[in-house]
């Protein structure tokens, strides 16, 4: 069977079983078979196809970032952190697809051991769970209102949020040595980074962080010696970060880190 026919058969099957299987599982299966990067920035992992090391995937959601990494590399391992138990089955699927390179834990990243409320917009099957945040002020931003409105959700309606109690831990407590940390935590970036302070000081891993509240955490990372870059999809390289281009994610790289992952990324920086 050709790859095209196989994909068509998968899509036909997916339409039949959609009422039974959660959206995250179907989306992960589609992404795994097609092998696409869910965001352009993750194409940088093509440069790291033969690299070794650990990627700490913070704010995993259904695992789309983990799949983008695992399908574009051969030796990199991924450890995901995600507080929303709705995504547990989707992450378990990734573990079945990549049993030797993938692990996950159902907790949130913060700067202390505690429990907090995760605010999740929409109904359980609405597909908006990736927009969940531990910071309710996140939903007061105009661009968040617009993003949710495009999906038919009124962000000003507080009664429409699901509130889920979740465990929060400082990720320093995992005692991992990541080569790269991906951070997508919807307004909780500075707390997550403060909970990683020892890891950042000791290992200076590369960071891939979604643009959000940069005034809170860029000064902190700058004080640790990090430089900031954006992915230029048109030229397939990294360029120094500037607000004018409004990228989706920022790459934070430490010049003093000799890890092959950081050196490869810095080697693809163009001025």
Does the pLDDT of residue 5 top 80, yes or no? no
For the domain made up of 20-114+172-267, give the CATH fold.
Answer: Rossmann fold (3.40.50)
The torsion angles phi and psi of 23, rounded to 5 degrees, stand at -55, -45
The per-residue pLDDT of the chain, averaged, comes to: 89
pLDDT at 21: 62
User: CB under 8 Å to 236, separation ≥6 — which residues?
Assistant: 43
Q: Where are the beta strands (DSSP E) in the chain?
A: 54-58, 77-81, 102-105, 108-109, 114-121, 161-169, 180-183, 206-210, 226-232, 237-240, 249-254
pLDDT at 198: 98
Give domain limits for the chain.
20-114+172-267
Tokens of 207: 């960071």
pLDDT at 12: 55
- CA 253/CA 141 separation, integer angstroms: 28
Pairing of strands 54-58, 206-210: unpaired
DSSP 160-188: GEEEEEEEEE-GGGG----SEEEE--TT-
pLDDT tens-place string over residues 32-60? 999 999 999 999 999 999 999 999 999 99
Please report, to the nearest 10 degrees, the dihedral formed by the alpha carbons of residues 13, 14, 16, 20 taken in order.
Answer: 130
Tokens of 242: 């500037």
Local confidence band at 244 (pLDDT 50, 70, 90 cut-offs): low
User: CB under 8 Å to 75, separation ≥6 — which residues?
Assistant: 50, 51, 52, 101
Does the pLDDT of residue 125 top 70, yes or no? no
Percent share of the chain, pLDDT over 70 = 90
Beta bridge partners of 269: 238
């Amino acid at each position: 069977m050709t790859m095209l026919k196989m994909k068509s058969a998968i899509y036909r099957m997916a339409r039949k079983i959609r009422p039974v299987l959660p959206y995250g599982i179907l989306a992960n299966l589609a992404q795994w078979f097609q092998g696409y990067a869910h965001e352009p920035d993750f194409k940088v992992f093509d440069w790291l196809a033969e690299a070794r090391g650990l990627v700490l995937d913070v704010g995993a959601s259904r695992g789309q970032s983990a799949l983008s990494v695992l399908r574009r590399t051969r030796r990199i391992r991924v450890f995901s952190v995600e507080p929303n138990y709705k995504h547990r089955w989707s992450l378990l699927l990734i573990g079945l697809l990549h049993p030797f390179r993938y692990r996950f834990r159902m907790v949130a990243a913060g700067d202390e051991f505690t429990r907090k409320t995760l605010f999740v917009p929409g109904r359980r099957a609405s597909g908006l769970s990736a927009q969940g945040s531990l910071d309710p002020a996140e939903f007061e931003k105009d661009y968040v209102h617009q993003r949710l409105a495009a999906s038919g959700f009124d962000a000003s309606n507080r009664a429409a949020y699901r509130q889920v109690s979740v465990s929060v831990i400082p990720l320093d407590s995992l005692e991992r040595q990541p080569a790269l940390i991906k951070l997508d935590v919807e307004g909780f970036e500075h707390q997550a980074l403060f909970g990683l302070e020892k890891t950042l000081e000791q290992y200076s891993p590369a960071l891939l962080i979604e643009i959000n509240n940069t005034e809170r955490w860029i000064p902190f990372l700058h004080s640790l010696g990090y430089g900031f870059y954006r992915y230029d999809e048109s030229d397939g390289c990294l360029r120094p970060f500037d607000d004018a281009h409004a990228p989706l994610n920022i790459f934070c790289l430490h010049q003093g880190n000799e890890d092959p992952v950081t050196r490869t990324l810095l080697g693809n920086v163009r001025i």
